[in-house]
Each structure stands twice: as structure tokens, then as C-alpha cells.
Amino acid sequence: MRLLLDTHTLIWHYEDWPLLSETANQAIDAPGNKLFISVASLWEMAIKSGIGKLTLTDPIRTIMAAYVGIGATILTITPDHALATQNLPWHHRDPFDRLLIAQAVHEGLTLVSRDEVFASYGQLNRMW
């Protein structure tokens, strides 16, 4: 399975938070699954940590390197991803989440997220 980690999923998995569902944790750790981390998540983490809304145990570069080290792919933001957000219904207003939805749909990825609003996007595969 090809899994795109939502920002909170990435943080909770890296920091071993109990808020991460057992299903999500097992899927992320399963050796046959391919992990993807969006540049949008790295950007969101950088902004939120920069303004004091997010405190991480390690620098973002360290977190990113840990996942790349286990084979995760950093998913860049392409023009197609950005433009696909224009056609999404407005169930979700958060620009980072809208971009993750567009990326997951465009790339055929399952988005690993606790956010139940994502279920409103019929074309999106979500796991939690």
C-alpha cells in the first residue's frame, strides 16, 4: 500500500504518541508499504514551529531524514497538485490539508489521517 502521512500522523508516529491509531501505526511500520511525506507537511511544521504553535522533540530535518532513511519518499508539490485544489469541494478550508487531499487523489495514495472531514471527499482513500 502507498501511504501519504498527514502532518499530525507523521508527528505522532515519529514521537510515538498514543493518539496514533493501532491501524495507522501498523500500516506505517509494515515493511511492504511505501511511505510518502509531502513537502506541504514539512512546510506546515516549519510554519507552526516558527510561530510557537508546535513543539517537536527533534528538528524537522532530523524527522525528515529518519523517514527517508527507512525508504519514505518526499513528495514535492507539482503544478498539477496545486491546481487540483481548485476543483476540490470546500469541505475543508485548511490549505495544507487541501493540498494533501489533492496529492493523495492525484498520485493514487491512501491518506493516513485522523481527520474525519476527509471522508467527505469521495475520491479520497483515507485510513485511520
Cell of 75: 513528495
How many Cβ atoms from other residues are within 10 Å of residue 81's Cβ?
Answer: 22
Fold of the 2-127 domain: Rossmann fold (3.40.50)
pLDDT tens for each residue of the chain, 128 residues long: 999 999 999 999 999 999 999 999 999 999 999 999 999 999 999 999 999 999 999 999 999 999 999 999 999 999 999 998 888 767 667 889 999 999 999 999 999 999 988 787 778 899 99
- Which pLDDT value is given to residue 89? 65
- Which pLDDT value is given to residue 55? 96
**Distant-in-sequence, close-in-space partners of 83: CB < 8 Å, separation ≥ 6:** none
- Which pLDDT value is given to residue 103? 97
Q: At 89, is the secondary structure helix, strand, or coil?
A: coil
